[in-house]
Structure 1
Amino acid sequence: MNYRGKLYRALNPVHARQPLSGRGAELHGGRFNSKGLPALYASLTVMTALREANQVGSLQPTTLVCYEADIESVFDGRESAALEARGMTLQALADPTWRDQMKASGDAKTQIFARQLIDEGYHALLVRSFAPGATEQDLNLVLWRWGNAAPARLSLIDDENRLA
């Protein structure tokens, strides 16, 4: 599938000046990227982005950004049959122990799955949010490839250069 439209991220202000870098995920790893692999975790709605950024405790200072996206080759992580064809399930995607798996063996099952998708040529993964309070309608797009042009164009909306 392809994704065209707006995406949102609620960033820690420390990283707000580099909203296109994927550096935080690269340094620490994420549910769908191993350490060393840059990734951008974006949401399809503002509220989902805020839930994702503030999963523990009270709302912390946050910089909200918006992108215009035109991403080809997106794997739809809501499709059970497509997941199962790759040895993955909806339940495994939601497994909250992915950090423990990463510490124990170097890579979580979801990170191995993501690497498989990248090797197959996917630029991104559409997946539901697993943040507290999220519903099946709260969706994220995890990008592994992005840039200024097709097939994975992502541009920050910052008409007044506030983050320059």
Structure 2
Amino acid sequence: MALTYSGKLYRAINPVFAREPMSGRGAERYGGRFNPKGVPALYTSTSVLTALRESNQVGDLQPTTLVCYRAEIDMVFDASDTAALTAAGLNEASLADPTWRDQMIETGEAPTQRFARNLIAEGYNGLLVRSFAKGAGLGDMNLVLWKWSASGPSRLELIDDEDRLG
């Protein structure tokens, strides 16, 4: 069952890409756990701490630009709905599988990427899913967006009232 997410979202970005906090081009170029190569995506979190954990998963804390969005996103798949997840042929262990990159290299598309492709084809704008970053708990959530714009049904607005990102 689809849900609507309404609230703030956070993203910790490498400063090299900070001037384009709405692009999704990095994920499109390299692919991510929940987007195959060629599909733009914004990986956002529902809390600041989760966003920092997500962007700094290896080694020490690196320079990071933190951004915040106002969001009103319709058609979000809730990965905590175990019945819906099972119907899609997955479970939490398969979502958390740390070998997704290897699978992507070996077969061209990891199961989590295929899952995302199917959700997109079904009209979903995003996926609400638990964070699997080191130190994340059950309540640390990410919202992966595949469709977003300045207006509905997948409205995302960067909060930059002082135009700090130019």
RMSD: 0.4
CA distance in 2, matches of 1:96, 1:81: 23
1:130: how far off? Answer: 0.4
Give the aligned residue type for 1:118.
Answer: I
Q: What is the correspondence of 1:66-145 to structure 2 with a 5 Å cutoff?
A: 66-145=68-147
1:79: how far off? Answer: 1.1
What's 1:64 paired with?
A: 66
CA distance in 2, matches of 1:66, 1:99: 28
> Could you tell me the TM-score, scaled by structure 1's length?
0.99
Give the aligned residue type for 1:22.
Answer: G
> Could you tell me the TM-score, scaled by structure 2's length?
0.98
3-state SS in 1 of match to 2:9: strand
Query: Unaligned 5+ residue runs, structure 1?
Result: none
1:145: how far off? Answer: 0.1
CA distance in 1, matches of 2:40, 2:82: 26
CA distance in 2, matches of 1:113, 1:34: 10
1:88: how far off? Answer: 1.1
Structure 1: 4+ residue segments shifted above 3 A: none
CA distance in 2, matches of 1:116, 1:36: 14
1:131: how far off? Answer: 0.3
1:12-41, Cα deviation, whole Å (9 max, x unpaired): 000000000001101110000011110000
What's 1:11 paired with?
A: 13
Query: Unaligned 5+ residue runs, structure 2?
Result: none
Count of residues in correspondence between the two structures = 164
3-state SS in 2 of match to 1:72: strand
1:73-109, Cα deviation, whole Å (9 max, x unpaired): 0000111110011111111000000000000000000
